[in-house]
């Protein structure tokens, strides 16, 4: 690993020894998703994107959060991606397809459950929940040590991937006056 990679990967969260090939691919995909964000938020979608790739590395679906424009509190990007993928493969159990999920931010408490039940095998996320909450005011929920729990269930996790791009995308969302949707307390 060269010096540049050491800096790039110094704060990576992972529940397996870091595989630089997997991580480099994730950096590329998540960077693309973060820069695509404004195209989705301009149409009224929420500031989170997800993409599912098959085991050969081909894109299966790319989705955005559609809580506001879809009028549904659980239309997070991950939920939309899993739903569409299960429809494509015509199954509620994706495990035999060995799929990878790439998300612009750490999954919330609801999406952690949804990912677990879907049979997705690998998860790569961008900005961590604590930073999402700090920048936006979204509530990501209370979570167990989910990265370790996923390891016990054979699900690989890599996180905190190019977080500076995620921070920038979320700051733009807030600066442009978009909605931070959550129930009244
Ligand atoms: Zn979620």
**Residue 175 known to be catalytic:** no
Rounded to an integer, the average pLDDT of 153-179 is 95
Residues 6+ apart with CB under 8 A from 174: 135, 136, 180
- Mean pLDDT over all residues of the chain? 94
Residue 13 and residue 148: Cα distance in Å, rounded? Answer: 11
| Strand residue runs (E) in the chain | 13-14, 49-53, 59-64, 100-105, 122-127, 156-159
**Which tens digit of pLDDT belongs to each residue from 115-151?**
999 999 999 999 999 999 999 999 999 998 999 999 9
Distance 76 CA to ligand 1 centre (A): 5
* Annotated catalytic residue, options 24, 78, 133, 175: 78
Q: Is the pLDDT of residue 2 over 80?
A: no
Per-residue confidence band for 7, with pLDDT thresholds at 50, 70 and 90: low
Can you tell me the mean pLDDT for 63-83? 96
């Amino acid at each position: 690993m060269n010096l540049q990679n050491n800096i790039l990967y110094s704060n990576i969260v992972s529940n397996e020894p870091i595989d630089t090939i997997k991580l480099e691919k994730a950096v590329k995909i998540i960077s693309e998703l973060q820069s695509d964000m404004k195209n989705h938020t301009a149409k009224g979608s929420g500031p989170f994107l997800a993409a599912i790739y098959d085991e050969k590395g081909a894109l299966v679906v790319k989705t955005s959060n559609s809580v506001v424009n879809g009028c549904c509190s659980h239309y997070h990007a991950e939920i939309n991606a899993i739903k569409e993928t299960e429809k494509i493969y015509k199954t509620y159990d994706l495990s035999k397809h060995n799929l990878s999920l790439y998300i612009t931010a750490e999954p919330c408490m609801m999406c952690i459950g949804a990912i677990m039940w879907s049979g997705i095998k690998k998860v790569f996320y961008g900005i961590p929940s604590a930073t999402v909450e700090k920048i936006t005011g979204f509530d990501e929920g209370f979570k167990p040590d989910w990265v370790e729990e996923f390891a016990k269930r054979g699900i690989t996790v890599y996180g905190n991937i190019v977080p500076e791009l995620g921070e920038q995308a979320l700051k733009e969302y807030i600066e442009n006056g978009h909605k931070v949707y959550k129930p009244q307390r």
